[in-house]
Structure 1
Amino acid sequence: MTVTGMSLVVAVPAAVAGAACMGLASAAQARATKEVETGKPLDLTLFKRLVGRPLWLIGIAATILGLLLQLVALAFGPLLLVQPLLVTSLMFAGLASARLERRRPDRTMSVGGLLCVAGLAAFLVIARPSGNSETLVSGGALLPLGIALAVLTLASLVVAASTNSGSWRVLGLAVATGVLYGLTAGLMKVVAGQFRLGIDEPFRHWTLYLVCVVGPLGFLLSQNTFQQGRFLTPALAVITALDPLVGVAIGLSWMGESADGRPLALFGEALSGLVIVVGIALLSTRASHLSAESEMPPAEEETASEESGERPDSGPDDGYGLAGTAC
């Protein structure tokens, strides 16, 4: 069915508010992971070192609130609408990181975040998502996308665990995190629909139990990703881009949702996607530049700041977090 006006009134604000909570959570958790000893990739003991740290607990509270808001949004709107709105968490994460560090947000980072949001808004206007199914297809129809997501996740984890390159390690963790987050969102859409049938209905189906496995695993990977890198925004951009992409794929393949498929609309959707990619590339390139500057001797760093027209004492901020990978 077509998405109604009332559904949009509930779904859009809930999704954006959830993205704001997720952005705050990412910034707080990323900084908290830098306050404990760095372990190996896929470190299962990281939680033990983080428990009790106020900033991490704030991040946990923001994550729970964000998930609840996302669940509300998914209960009223299709995955094709709700999941792309998560890209706005990039902007909120950048602002939260700057606030935590008591620095002004970096202008280039801000432009990259705005490009992501602008591309997202254009995509939603052009695509006009429709359909709001709360049930999955059954049998063999689940296999093609399911196998593809499993292979991508496993391959990313193998890269993260086997490489000596910090950038590739963070990229592998970020890709796996984004896939698991998108899968969790798709399954949560189904669980939200089951809750509307009765409080005990979700416990009768396998989707809730899979969410209880995939969701925490994705969260564990996100915390490892935050700790392994230097800057928050670039790898968070990978996560928040893959999350809605996987969600959209699940909506189209597993739940019968649809978007405008006319040639002109497809061109506009592709162009909107390109704007999002440019925004992510800008964020990544800028973070790589900042990472290089942070390793310069003080005199060279001052010269680089003067050449870029920035004051050394008010340098750009991206907060703690993820490595500046060009991804």
Structure 2
Amino acid sequence: MVSASGTSLLLAVPAAVAGAASMGLASAAQARATKEVEVGRILDPGLLRGLAHRPLWLIGMVATGAGLALQLIALAYAPLLVVQPLLITSLMFAGVFSARLERRQLDRVMVAGALICVAGLAGFLVVARPTGDSSDFADATGPLPLAIALATLTIVALVVALLVRGSLRVLGLAVATGVLYGVTAGLMKVVAGQARDGLAEPFQNWTLYLVCLIGPLGFLLSQNTFQQGRFLTPALAVITALDPLVGVGIGVWWMGETANSAPWALAGEAMAGAVILVGIVLLASRAEHLARAQPGAGTDVPLNAPEGTA
């Protein structure tokens, strides 16, 4: 079992951060592009057909592909407990890219919220000291309870999204997306380990095919989330938080990865998690405040806003 240190981290950490940057660009580009097409039904593939003709969305797709490739590289050299929390920085990158796409300056409060997230992330990694680099499911773990919990959460979130409207619908879509993204990352870790034994090895196992099912489903839900929500940042904050949280859960419960479980460490990890949550809440609330105060000043301006408001 390989420790999450040395040369592996020198490869995995930059790849994970670069992947987060690519995902941030993808989110910013795709969120704007979804406002250019007619609002469709949830999980309707027709949304993707309409988006396929939007250059900005295609740029987002390229960025998504790059982000997934970089994430796969990171997962091949480091545990989920290292890689997944680093994905939280995609929220910061999304804010930066949104500002650039809208040709405006970064909001100081938004920058502060992003930095708070990064600080909490750094604290979590220092205290948790994640170890273990399993490339397959551990025999000693009990996968069923977590699988049931994740499936139930996803189904409930989708039911809420289908039955209600407004912010609760967006929340339901974001929760389902975050869970599916986290599960996809966990399964990609297994695929990355199988690829070490030969490029043909993943095609001989069920994990890759499950990734090909859950991954696109999560992606379609993310596009629904971006389109249904008036603002990008609150929904993206939920997705960004749940994705690594689910990934960490999979690393511990399914793959036998470990983290420092001493009482003082658990308290420190909880505090770091609270700091990350504060940063995410600050980002989301600031976006809503900017939109209410001046519709063209926020991170998540609809593309049909009148000229001169941005």
Same fold (TM over 0.5): yes
Superposition RMSD in Å: 1.5
Letter in 2 for 1:317: G
Residue number in structure 1 paired with 2:292: 292
> Structure 2 vs 1, CA of residues 42 and 291 (structure 1 numbering), >3 Å: closer, same or farther?
farther
Find the aligned partners of 1:264 and 1:148 in 2 and give their Cα distance. Answer: 28
Residue number in structure 2 paired with 1:155: 156
Residue number in structure 2 paired with 1:178: 178
What SS does the aligned partner of 1:197 have?
Answer: coil
Deviations 1:167-213 (A, max 9, x none): 00110000000000000000000000000001111111110000000
Structure 1 residues 88-103: aligned runs within 5 Å: 88-103=89-104
Alpha-carbon distance, 1:140 to partner: 8.4
Conserved in 1, the CA contact under 8 Å of 2:141 and 2:256? no
What SS does the aligned partner of 1:260 have?
Answer: coil
Matched, 1:318 2:304: no
Larger CA deviation: 242-251 vs 224-233: 224-233
Larger CA deviation: 250-259 vs 34-43: 34-43
Find the aligned partners of 1:246 and 1:44 in 2 and give their Cα distance. Answer: 26
Deviations 1:125-168 (A, max 9, x none): 1111000000113598221111110000000000001002x100
Alpha-carbon distance, 1:37 to partner: 1.2
Letter in 1 for 2:42: P
Conserved in 2, the CA contact under 8 Å of 1:100 and 1:319? no
Structure 1 residues 268-287: aligned runs within 5 Å: 268-287=268-287
Find the aligned partners of 2:264 and 2:94 in 1 and give their Cα distance. Answer: 34
Residue number in structure 1 paired with 2:25: 24
What SS does the aligned partner of 1:168 have?
Answer: helix
Residue number in structure 1 paired with 2:144: 143
Find the aligned partners of 2:73 and 2:231 in 1 and give their Cα distance. Answer: 31
Alpha-carbon distance, 1:38 to partner: 1.5
What SS does the aligned partner of 2:291 have?
Answer: helix
Letter in 2 for 1:43: D
Residue number in structure 2 paired with 1:193: 193
Alpha-carbon distance, 1:34 to partner: 0.6
Q: TM-score w.r.t. structure 2 length?
A: 0.94
Q: TM-score w.r.t. structure 1 length?
A: 0.89
Alpha-carbon distance, 1:40 to partner: 2.9
Letter in 2 for 1:318: T
What SS does the aligned partner of 2:266 have?
Answer: helix
Conserved in 1, the CA contact under 8 Å of 2:141 and 2:253? no
Conserved in 2, the CA contact under 8 Å of 1:94 and 1:319? no
Find the aligned partners of 1:139 and 1:263 in 2 and give their Cα distance. Answer: 23
Structure 1 residues 198-217: aligned runs within 5 Å: 198-217=198-217
Alpha-carbon distance, 1:78 to partner: 0.2
Structure 1 residues 1-327: aligned runs within 5 Å: 1=1, 2-137=3-138, 141-164=142-165, 166-294=166-294, 316-320=297-301
Larger CA deviation: 66-75 vs 138-147: 138-147
Find the aligned partners of 2:143 and 2:265 in 1 and give their Cα distance. Answer: 27
Deviations 1:252-282 (A, max 9, x none): 0000000111111111111100101111111
Find the aligned partners of 1:292 and 1:224 in 2 and give their Cα distance. Answer: 23
Find the aligned partners of 2:210 and 2:38 in 1 and give their Cα distance. Answer: 31
Find the aligned partners of 1:320 and 1:66 in 2 and give their Cα distance. Answer: 25
